Chain A
């Protein structure tokens, strides 16, 4: 069993870090190659090598430096960018446009994303059907596979899905790191309950209209993926809403506040994942024996998951996405990844190692597809 380290450092030696990276090395190799490595295409092989190298180097660095967030964020942001690139490229190739047409809707060819899930639940229960024009089982981003992926990830990671799985979160995570200091500091605590209000509204409106209303009207990421063809006043209004929300909540506000404002103030999926934080075995704990109540973690947290009251109680709220920013930022190393049932301050290394393996493995494998695809297409363009 691990005890509280005297220096409270998570760093490991090169040898030990390599040892911890080895299982990740092997598993990611198998998953990325599908168990059947094929090196016939040079650009695909190069893409595979770079992606494989990237994820394992980042994982190695997490162990070697003892820091989590900055390395997680690198992969998380690259994931978001590469997914948008992959989607946009596919659409331009197939349809010569970023917009989907009436025909795509009628033929149920719209790729599914996990943000639809909160709106699906009530109609699925009452009408026994899915209110989305996508594919149930076949094709890219089928409904069944995305729901299974999300379900398992959210049970295992809880709201950690928002920092280790969501392929949109990297956008506002990235923009929130641009400025060194926030311009806007004081934000009313009431706003962090907004995603729940949005969840309530979109769930109800989707149930009543049998239409995924969040996707139709207020998803900011339509600006960087695909949206309805502009053929009417309504579709112009929708495009305006998407662009405004993306500009405001994903770009401008994260830059000036250094917070992930889209995730904190709008995303209904974040609200749903917050509830699953009750189920996950992993958590973030505050060791009250070491904590000096400097409240630096309150300012650092990008998702408003820690308040001064939380620090005083030694308890981090359900909003925590386990991104590791507070863990890295605490000068006394009083905050650490933990496992439920293990007291705060105990078995820090063990808890961190186990959590990192689980969460990073998910992120690495989930993101590898879009990243390899993006690199492959870039190399085909260049060479």
Chain B
């Protein structure tokens, strides 16, 4: 669970930096006070939780079918870890990283009550490298419970960054937090790269 939590914590910051900046105006629109924003945020997080629960289930069942062989269970995810980790590092450092995310689509929705729910769906289904990594991890767990735990840790790690959002207007130095988050994402990518290489070497040795 440690690496899932770390992945969530590091990618959540970058996610907040991009998607959060789209969400924030919606949360602050109208005469929303802190209480209203907190309610919207809770809806958003609950939706993310449900989507991650479904993804964990789907990933595990998919993995059961694909990674039946012990060696394949080590080597293939190891390769995937390395590939997605490289993407994560590139994502964190890329100058062409877009400042917004699929959350922009909710601008087309008229019903304000649906916005947090839709944002939750779009945010959790945004297939960024971090999500791809956690999907790989979920698919390779031995039991369904372990897959749920991995996604739970990822959810907790990524959600922590959204919690101060109701007070975001009062938070200075957002740019600093964004920079740290982006670099932390890159570091998390390196950690997963090492994990992937370890899996590959372990799989080769055991094979």
Note whether A and B form a binding pair.
yes
Q: Are B6 and A190 in touch, CB under 8 angstroms? A: no
Measured in the bound complex, the distance between the Cα atoms of B184 and A208 in whole Å is 17
Q: How many residues of A contact B (CB 8 A)?
A: 14
Choose one: A191, A200, A233; the contact of B184 (CB below 8 Å). A200
Give me the interface of A with B, judged by CB distance under 8 Å.
Answer: 190-191, 193-194, 196-198, 200-201, 204-205, 208-209, 233
Question: Does chain A have a CB within 8 A of B109?
Answer: no
Contact with A along B161-190 (1 / 0, CB 8 A): 000000000000000100111111011100
Question: Does chain A have a CB within 8 A of B5?
Answer: yes
Closest 5 CB pairs of A and B: A197-B183, A208-B2, A197-B184, A193-B179, A196-B180
- Contacts A208-B6, A209-B2, A233-B201 given; indicate if A201 touches B184 (C-beta within 8 A): yes
Choose one: B6, B9, B180, B191; the contact of A193 (CB below 8 Å). B180
Which of B2, B176, B184 has the most chain A CB atoms inside 10 A of its CB? B184
Q: Are A201 and B180 in touch, CB under 8 angstroms? A: no
New contact pairs (10) apart from A201-B184, A208-B5, CB-CB < 8 Å: A193-B179, A193-B183, A197-B10, A197-B183, A197-B184, A197-B187, A200-B184, A201-B191, A208-B6, A209-B2
Measured in the bound complex, the distance between the Cα atoms of B2 and A208 in whole Å is 6
Q: Are B10 and A201 in touch, CB under 8 angstroms? A: yes
Query: What residues on A are CB-neighbors of B10 within 8 Å?
Result: 197, 200-201
- Contacts A204-B5, A204-B9, A208-B6 given; indicate if A197 touches B201 (C-beta within 8 A): no
Query: What residues on B are CB-neighbors of A201 within 8 Å?
Result: 6, 10, 184, 187-188, 191
Measured in the bound complex, the distance between the Cα atoms of B201 and A193 in whole Å is 33
Q: Are B201 and A200 in touch, CB under 8 angstroms? A: no
Q: Are B2 and A190 in touch, CB under 8 angstroms? A: no
- Contacts A201-B187, A204-B9, A233-B201 given; indicate if A193 touches B176 (C-beta within 8 A): yes
Query: Interface residues of A: mostly helix, strand, loop or mixed?
Result: helix
Interface size class of B (residues with CB under 8 A): 10 to 19
Measured in the bound complex, the distance between the Cα atoms of B63 and A241 in whole Å is 33
Measured in the bound complex, the distance between the Cα atoms of B10 and A196 in whole Å is 12
- Contacts A193-B176, A233-B201 given; indicate if A205 touches B6 (C-beta within 8 A): yes
- Contacts A205-B6, A208-B6 given; indicate if A190 touches B184 (C-beta within 8 A): no
Query: What residues on A are CB-neighbors of B5 within 8 Å?
Result: 204, 208
- How many A-B pairs have beta carbons closer than 8 Å: the answer is 40
Q: Are B9 and A194 in touch, CB under 8 angstroms? A: no
Measured in the bound complex, the distance between the Cα atoms of B2 and A198 in whole Å is 16
Query: Interface residues of B: mostly helix, strand, loop or mixed?
Result: helix
Q: Are B6 and A197 in touch, CB under 8 angstroms? A: no
- Contacts A190-B179, A204-B9, A233-B201 given; indicate if A197 touches B186 (C-beta within 8 A): yes
Q: Are B182 and A190 in touch, CB under 8 angstroms? A: yes
Query: What residues on B are CB-neighbors of A200 within 8 Å?
Result: 9-10, 180, 184
Residue of chain A at shortest CB distance from B181: A197
Which residues of B in the span 1-45 have a Cβ within 8 Å of any Cβ on A? 2, 5-6, 9-10
Query: What residues on B are CB-neighbors of A197 within 8 Å?
Result: 10, 180-181, 183-184, 186-187
Residue of chain B at shortest CB distance from A193: B179
Q: How far does the Cβ of B198 sit from chain A's closest Cβ, in whole Å?
A: 9
Q: How far does the Cβ of A142 sit from chain B's closest Cβ, in whole Å?
A: 30
Choose one: A190, A204, A233; the contact of B183 (CB below 8 Å). A190
Query: What residues on B are CB-neighbors of A193 within 8 Å?
Result: 176, 179-180, 183
Query: What residues on B are CB-neighbors of A205 within 8 Å?
Result: 2, 6, 191
Give 17 A-B contacts (CB < 8 Å), ordered by A residue.
A193-B179, A193-B180, A196-B183, A197-B183, A197-B184, A200-B9, A200-B10, A201-B184, A201-B187, A201-B188, A204-B5, A204-B6, A205-B2, A205-B6, A208-B6, A209-B2, A233-B201
Query: What residues on B are CB-neighbors of A204 within 8 Å?
Result: 5-6, 9
Query: What residues on B are CB-neighbors of A190 within 8 Å?
Result: 179, 182-183
Q: How far does the Cβ of B12 sit from chain A's closest Cβ, in whole Å?
A: 12
Measured in the bound complex, the distance between the Cα atoms of B188 and A198 in whole Å is 10
